[in-house]
Amino acid sequence: MELVSLPSEMRRIAEDLRRRDGTIAFVPTMGFLHDGHLALMREGRQRASVLVVSIFVNPSQFGPNEDFERYPRALQKDLEKIERIPADYVFAPDTRAMLPADTETWVEVTGVTRGLCGAHRPGHFRGVTTIVAKLFNLVQPHIAIFGEKDFQQLRAIQKMVHDLNFAVEIIPHPIVREPDGLAMSSRNAYLSPKQRNEALALSQSLFAARELSAAGTRDPDAIVQAARRVLDRSADIKLEYLEAVDWETLAKPSAHRSMLLAVAARVGDTRLIDNIALHNPA
Amino acid sequence: MELVSLPSEMRRIAEDLRRRDGTIAFVPTMGFLHDGHLALMREGRQRASVLVVSIFVNPSQFGPNEDFERYPRALQKDLEKIERIPADYVFAPDTRAMLPADTETWVEVTGVTRGLCGAHRPGHFRGVTTIVAKLFNLVQPHIAIFGEKDFQQLRAIQKMVHDLNFAVEIIPHPIVREPDGLAMSSRNAYLSPKQRNEALALSQSLFAARELSAAGTRDPDAIVQAARRVLDRSADIKLEYLEAVDWETLAKPSAHRSMLLAVAARVGDTRLIDNIALHNPA
């Protein structure tokens, strides 16, 4: 396994791999890896001859009052985890190598980024899509694996790839959860044991909604209400949004189409997100 | 020479060429080809094993009151001209194949696109950089040749390629002029013989400035004044801008750095642009 830190070196390796007819799978991460990340890597490992993992905490997707500075980092531990998959290359560039101070080009997806997290984190998805476009150009993957926990991010990347004709196939990977249901997230490390327990209300609210949906209730408002009743039991959860949207477009939902129920909330200072697909059984 | 109209087919050809170790040169155009375009193609022909030329009148780089609808088109004549270079592939996609109605991803370069044409054509460069990003992803060129007549466009593309880590080398090509100095442009076809004669004031104003600069005058204001005196002789020219800017950054010029003197003006309804580099002899 090779650690690559220079963008120019990553490009050279990718071009070499492409010439040798290798298929490249790519898993972009911000590091501080958990089993969710590792599941994406195992999927990539299976689907291609070469696996590239990137570790880059992208400042341009954090707002000015967000947690870029204190975002957890653990490169050595991350490398040990990736070694056990293993990946072939870990691309871990410096902040300034990936985002020089004179950067003035941005890739922006409108539409699917307007609601949900996009409404609460201005500039967030522009930062994500710009960095992912850069990573795609450097790593030149045939496939790239994205987790469904960041579902709106997944849809933004899919839209960018389609609209800009990137030659990359995007593979969504289901949310990986702790045994008690909490969606895995690097930010779970911020939680005290008490907060960790409170945070369970997020997934539990989604599971309650899924039960209702599975029992035949397809009215979006009724589904949201069911989820909200669970969240309301926890006084320490500050809800940012709880919304049912169309599973494909993230726009207004319709009872006869698959829906996504998505939630964002703060537990203490920690912002957590989760979601669940409510597929139309018809 | 093969005519390709489907984006998916262009992608397949490019991936195949890449695997066969061919180097791909790319000349993107809006068609209605003149000797300036053909010079770019000859340059690409020399520099690579495969030459791809695209013809696409990009609606997203025209403003709502601009000349997209009446922009001159002549595909058959264009193909005959390209055949004589020859190119290997001509990529001429449908408008809707390249820009589906549901497009919602844009590549935007700030900074170098703010002044000059950017100040007068809002959204123009966003349309250019978005389409060029798409074309780069479809054609996967090693090098791409851009004419210096659209100098601000050249700088925007160079910035985009640098910032987004596109694996493409951008080759600038000098302006190709008619024997009397008029910069070649597809829009020259709009001009009546009288207007064609009036339009000479653009290049003549730049040549006057170049003489002053070559004689040692490096003050940007004095240089602009010299050019303006030539333009002022023509009552039928409506000046849009005449500016000296830094040749690299297109920002405020400095007497001890190379400058670009750029002009945009209407002759009748026809908008023409031209520019000249005033290199610092030091």
- Over residues B150-176, the pLDDT tens digits come to 999 999 999 999 999 999 999 999 999
Interface of A with B (CB under 8 A): 7, 11, 15, 18-19, 21, 100, 102-112, 129-130, 133-134, 137-138, 140, 159-160, 162-167
Whether A104 sits inside 8 A of B163 (CB atoms) is: yes
pLDDT at A282: 64
- Over residues A176-221, the pLDDT tens digits come to 999 999 999 999 999 999 999 999 999 999 999 999 999 999 999 9
pLDDT at B134: 98
Work out the percent of chain A whose per-residue pLDDT is above 90: 96
ipTM of the modeled complex = 0.92
Confidence at B249, pLDDT banded by 50, 70, 90: very high
Element (H, E) at B106: strand B105-109
Element (H, E) at B128: helix B124-139
* Three-state secondary structure call for residue A265: strand
Q: Is B265 within 8 Å of B231 (Cβ atoms)?
A: yes
Q: Which of A20-29, A126-135, B184-193 is the least confident region?
A: A20-29
Work out the percent of chain A whose per-residue pLDDT is above 70: 99
Q: Which amino acid is at B62?
A: F
- Over residues B210-236, the pLDDT tens digits come to 999 999 999 999 999 999 999 999 989
Q: Which amino acid is at A130?
A: T
**Nearest-neighbour CA in chain A from B207: distance (Å):** 33
DSSP B55: E
pLDDT at B114: 97
State both tokens at B269: 């309804």
- Chain B CB contacts of A109 under 8 Å are 104-105
Instruction: Please compute Rg for chain A using Cα positions.
Output: 19
Phi-psi region of B116 (alpha: psi -120 to 50; beta: other; left: phi over 0): left
pLDDT at A275: 98
3-state secondary structure string across A145-182: EEEHHHHHHHHHHHHHHHHCCCCCEEEEECCCECCCCC
Whether A137 sits inside 8 A of B166 (CB atoms) is: yes
Long-range contacts of residues A14-23, Cβ cutoff 8 Å, at least 24 apart: A14/A52, A14/A138, A14/A139, A14/A140, A15/A140, A15/B167, A17/A50, A17/A140, A18/A140, A18/B18, A18/B19, A19/B18, A19/B19, A19/B21, A21/B19, A22/A48, A22/A49, A22/A50, A23/A47, A23/A48, A23/A49, A23/A50, A23/A142, A23/A143
pLDDT at A96: 96
pLDDT at B21: 74
* Three-state secondary structure call for residue B250: coil
pTM, whole model, 2 decimals?
A: 0.95
B259-267 and B270-278 beta bridge pairing: antiparallel
Work out the percent of chain B whose per-residue pLDDT is above 90: 96
Q: Has residue A21 got a pLDDT over 80?
A: no
Residue in A with minimal Cα distance to B134: A164
For the question of residue A142 being annotated catalytic, the response is no
Q: Is B109 within 8 Å of B133 (Cβ atoms)?
A: no
For residue B244, list its beta bridge partners: B261
* Mean pLDDT on A80-108: 97
Q: Domains plus CATH for chain B?
A: 2-173 (3.40.50.620), 186-276 (3.30.1300.10)
Q: Has residue A25 got a pLDDT over 90?
A: yes
